[in-house]
Chain A
């Protein structure tokens, strides 16, 4: 019998929940009732079979991204490849690093093509694709510890910001990280871009060789992990303030580079209660999207892993990582 996704409205009657295998999406559209209905129908239609589409090319998606061309066929797979290829020449990264954001973007695109909406989002476990019509805005909540959901700050994204993707990652999340950050949140032009960058920045927040950090080869945890024998973080013991600063500095340095290259707009990094923010202008105090008290921890998501949704637990998403 054919496996079919779960498609249901959440109890609030507004948000749509789409789930298939490891993919979990919370979707909301605002606009005329008819438009919302059409958008949800389009989302459900696009979502059906999407996982199968990805799995057709799973072996290639789990392989190191190639800089000399893309052999992937599916549109979602190609979006994943495009999002990670800027990093492929300098580090090990697979298209899986952008799977959650790419899925979110794809479903959102189907919705906005189907009907005129005021605004919409597709939240794939904390990796979020946004749509904002002119003059519209979203209030975004930030979490500092994906394993202990709680908002430590909210801010407003407006249509003029040009930010349509948010991703959060950290070693405490669902997927593996090579770094030690509790969480890194990235704001970017697209969700796939934010997703890939979260992986890269989060991997950079690290203290190589530090005895308080427990690392285990990815393959021992998940036999088919695309990270193979690369050691992923499974525990971080107490760190001295100077060490925290060093690790965060390594992360912010990478984030600054990504901003300079135009790959992301802003980053918030959080480690052991310390936060750093970078981006959206040279004056850090003028950051409009990340409140000053926002925890910046450079969470590194590993360069891949069998990961189809973002690192944040769904609960975070539902408690209002995004609210209207």
Chain B
């Protein structure tokens, strides 16, 4: 469709993108400014130039005809409507063509989306739990309703990681283990809360996109860093505004004047004396007991972690800021003539740094990624030559989505992908009694590429043929997701 139908001797081409049918000179654009003549070929100047201008106003375009009850659905537009695989049905157990192979014209290019629900025996979820609390030793079993459903895996920055599901728990253990594992995966993938217990560890309630509840207490914020890291991050902002800073932290309390960051800035000794066990300069372990006070300790008076100032280095009038790793607690002091800290109001110059610490604390969340691999029958539903689909995905000719959400396709063999379940429409996942999970998967590619990989061309049908009598659920597009027909518009590199 995008190829010029006519070309003249002097290099002009005739655009057939719309009925205006402009003649376009080499290097020039048509009346719409969207199509141009590039060396004799009709090209989109910028696939979404108009929408991009819209996007400059902030946010994504909300497809008008997918606004739930706000639209009568009669004016379904190819580029504005993307058919997901949710509820589409599957190719299993026969090697039959996918239930929907839907074509649409996007920017003048015929696109096809192969829509199916995959049955995933090889699947699971990876759960990231934002907490510094100890949930349990690595490799410990994670249980639901007493049944093993996964294990604690390698911890990450500020987070504990769980790996749940997989073929061994689903089908390799007892019948009950398989059923409970399937239930757990289904609940987590559909965004619901699940209670898990960890052998030799904690009981936690996990729900995608929500703060974890560890032994009955909800985590709220991830700290900006440990006390020492906080000193490093903010040393420059404090330099010249205050003589000493103590960042109170149950893990590592930081002291500016002794810390490497303070030394590099030439900050003088202050004669401060910290309680607790000194690790390296300016870093102290165990200044107090764990608790719910300042920086995850049990203290409410920060001066309780200080000994007397050393008169050889300290001087009257010396100023000191004490702050927790979330910025939730802070106090400002000045030494009196007897070198005793006396609390004063926080000077405006330091208020900004406190606000900055708070601003940099991210909310503690559980995040759930569904991970699964597309097997033989699913790929056969797309093409009569399944390996070509794999190759097409690896060559980025085919864009894979899960319920319209972008996926990360693992390199190497097969089509093994991960998706953030919060970006998939609700209740997108199902199960079969095998037990195995059912997840939506869509493959979007050019019609010509689909033909080249021996797709089921005789089953391609236009989007407009999906009648209104079908029980179709129209949902708004997820704001953070790239539009599946225009994945180059992705705002985020991950997921």
A residues with a Cβ closer than 8 A to B are: 1-13, 16-17, 19-22, 24, 37, 40-41, 44-45, 48, 51-52, 54-56, 58, 174, 220-224, 306-308, 313-315, 318
Complex interface bits, B33-57 against A, C-beta within 8 A gives 1, otherwise 0 = 1100000000000000010011111
Q: Among A7, A10, A222, A308, which residue has its beta carbon within 8 angstroms of that of B57?
A: A10
A216 to chain B, nearest CB (A): 12
CB distance from B16 to the nearest CB of A (A): 9
With A21-B19, A318-B57: A11-B62 Cβ-Cβ less than 8 Å: yes
Specify which chain B residues have a CB less than 8 angstroms from the CB of A12 in the assembled complex. 57
Q: Is there a chain A Cβ closer than 8 Å to B313's Cβ? A: no
List 27 contacting pairs A-B, 8 Å CB cutoff, sorted by A: A1-B105, A1-B110, A1-B462, A3-B19, A6-B79, A7-B77, A7-B80, A8-B62, A8-B63, A11-B55, A11-B58, A11-B60, A20-B18, A21-B17, A22-B30, A22-B32, A51-B19, A56-B19, A220-B25, A221-B25, A221-B28, A222-B25, A222-B28, A223-B25, A306-B22, A315-B56, A318-B53
Q: Is B64 interfacial (CB-CB < 8 Å)?
A: yes
Judged by a CB distance under 8 angstroms, whether B72 is at the interface is yes
A41 contacts which chain B residues (CB < 8 A)? 71-72, 75
Are B65 and A7 in contact, CB atoms less than 8 angstroms apart? yes
Q: How far is the CB of B23 from chain A (nearest CB, A)?
A: 4
Asked if A3 meets B58 with Cβ closer than 8 Å, knowing A22-B31, A44-B75, A223-B23, the reply is no
Which residues of chain B are near A223, meaning CB under 8 Å? 12, 23-25
Judge whether B20 and A13 touch: CB under 8 Å.
Answer: no
CB-based contact B20/A306 at 8 Å: yes
- Distance of A11 Cα from B63 Cα, bound (Å): 9
Q: How far is the CB of B415 from chain A (nearest CB, A)?
A: 28
A135 to chain B, nearest CB (A): 28
Beyond A11-B57, A308-B20, list 14 extra A-B contacts (CB 8 Å): A3-B19, A7-B77, A8-B61, A13-B62, A17-B54, A21-B19, A40-B64, A44-B64, A44-B75, A222-B23, A223-B23, A315-B53, A318-B53, A318-B54
Give Cα distance in the complex from A291 to B72, angstroms.
43
How far does the Cβ of B188 sit from chain A's closest Cβ, in whole Å? Answer: 31
Q: How far is the CA of A7 from the CA of B65 in the complex (A)?
A: 8
* CB–CB B28/A21 < 8 A: no
Q: Looking across the interface, which residue of chain B has its beta carbon closest to that of A221?
A: B28
A5 to B80: give the CA distance in the assembly, Å. 10
CB neighbours of A4 from chain B (8 A): 77-78
Interface contact B50-A19, CB-CB below 8 Å? yes
CA distance A306 to B35 in the complex (A): 14
Min CB–CB distance A34 → chain B (angstroms): 11
Interchain CA distance A309-B33 in the complex, whole Å: 11
Q: Ordered nearest first, which 8 A-B pairs have the shortest CB separation?
A: A21-B18, A55-B19, A11-B59, A22-B32, A223-B23, A306-B31, A22-B31, A8-B64
The reply to whether the CB of B70 lies closer than 8 angstroms to some CB of chain A is yes
Within 8 A of A (CB), among B267-288: none
Beta-carbon contact of B57 and A3 below 8 Å:
no
A58 to B105, CA, bound (A): 25
- CB neighbours (8 Å) of A51 from chain B are 18-20
Interface set of B (CB-CB < 8 Å, partner A): 1, 12, 17-25, 28, 30-34, 50, 53-65, 67, 70-72, 75, 77-80, 103-105, 110, 462, 464
CB distance from B263 to the nearest CB of A (A): 49
Give the CA-CA distance A4 to B1 in the complex, in Å.
Answer: 14
**What CA separation (Å) do A220 and B21 show in the bound complex?**
17
Asked whether A22 and B18 contact (CB < 8 A) given A224-B23, A314-B53, the answer is yes
Identify A22's interface contact among B20, B55, B65, B110, CB under 8 A: B20
> A157 to nearest B CB, angstroms?
24
Q: Cα distance A40–B71 when bound, in Å?
A: 9
Instruction: Report yes or no: A9 in contact with B20, Cβ–Cβ below 8 A.
Output: no
Q: Give Cα distance in the complex from A315 to B56, angstroms.
A: 9
Contact of A3 with B61 at beta-carbon distance under 8 Å, contacts A9-B67, A10-B54 already known: no
Closest to A17 in B: B54
Complex contact A55–B60 (CB within 8 A): no
Pick the contact of A6 from B21, B72, B80, B464 — CB < 8 Å? B80
Evaluate whether A174 and B58 lie within 8 angstroms (CB atoms) in the complex, with A7-B65, A222-B28 already known.
no
CB-defined contacts of A9 to chain B, threshold 8 Å: 61-64, 67
What is the bound-complex CA distance between A13 and B23, given in angstroms? Answer: 37
Residues of B within 8 A of A306 (CB): 20, 22, 30-31
| Chain A residues whose CB sits within 8 angstroms of the CB of B50 once the complex forms | 17, 19, 24, 314
**B80–A1 CB distance below 8 A:** no
Which partner residue on chain B sits nearest A318 by CB separation?
B57
B19 touches A11 (CB 8 A): no
Shortest beta-carbon distance from A174 to chain B in Å: 7
Are A7 and B64 interface neighbours, CB within 8 A? yes
Query: Which among A1, A6, A55 is the interface contact of B20 at CB below 8 angstroms?
Result: A55
* Cα(A12)–Cα(B59), bound, Å: 9
Most interface-central of A1, A12, A318 (chain B CB within 10 A): A1
CA distance A195 to B160 in the complex (A): 64
Q: How many Å from the CB of A244 to the closest CB on chain B?
A: 30
**Complex Cα distance A52/B22, Å?**
14
A10 touches B32 (CB 8 A): no
Give the residues in chain A near B80, CB-CB below 8 Å. 6-8
Contact across chains for A307 and B20 when beta carbons are under 8 A apart: no
Contacts of A10 in B (CB 8 A): 54, 57, 61-62
Complex alpha-carbon distance, A37 and B63, angstroms: 15
Residues of A within 8 A of B12 (CB): 223
Write the nearest CB–CB distance from A25 to chain B, whole angstroms: 11
**Max count, chain A CB within 10 A of own CB: residue among B17, B72, B77, B110:** B77
Which chain B residues lie closer than 8 Å to A58 at the CB level?
Answer: 19-20
B57–A55 touching, CB < 8 Å = no
Query: In the bound complex, how far is the Cα of B21 from the Cα of A58, in angstroms?
Result: 10
B18, B56, B77, B79 interface centre (most CB from chain A within 10 Å): B18
The reply to whether B67 and A3 contact each other, CB–CB distance below 8 Å, is no
Expressed in whole angstroms, the minimum distance between the Cβ of B107 and any Cβ of chain A is 10
CA distance A6 to B19 in the complex (A): 15
Whole-angstrom distance between the Cβ of A45 and the nearest chain B Cβ: 7
B64 partner, pick from A3, A16, A21, A56, beta carbons under 8 A:
A16
CB distance from B76 to the nearest CB of A (A): 9
Kindly list chain B residues whose C-beta atoms are within 8 Å of the C-beta of A48.
75
**Chain A positions within 8 Å of B104 at CB level:** 1
Min Cβ gap A67→B in Å is 26
Nearest Cβ on chain B to A279's Cβ, whole angstroms: 31
Asked whether, in the complex, the Cβ of A1 is within 8 Å of the Cβ of B103, the reply is yes
Enumerate chain B residues within 8 angstroms of A24, measured Cβ to Cβ.
50
- Complexed CA–CA distance, A287 and B21 (Å): 43
Q: How far in angstroms is the closest Cβ of chain A from B322? A: 44
CA distance A308 to B32 in the complex (A): 8
| Contact (Cβ within 8 A) A3 B33 | no
For residue B101, give the distance in angstroms from its CB to the closest CB of chain A. Answer: 15
Contact residues in A for B18 (Cβ distance below 8 Å): 3, 20-22, 51, 55
Cα A10 to Cα B17 in complex, Å, equals 24
Closest Cβ–Cβ distance, residue A189 to chain B (whole Å)? 28
What's the nearest-Cβ distance from chain A to residue B103, in Å?
7
**Residues of chain B contacted by A19 (CB below 8 angstroms):** 50
A111 vs chain B, min Cβ distance (A):
15
Chain B nearest Cβ from A41, distance in angstroms: 7
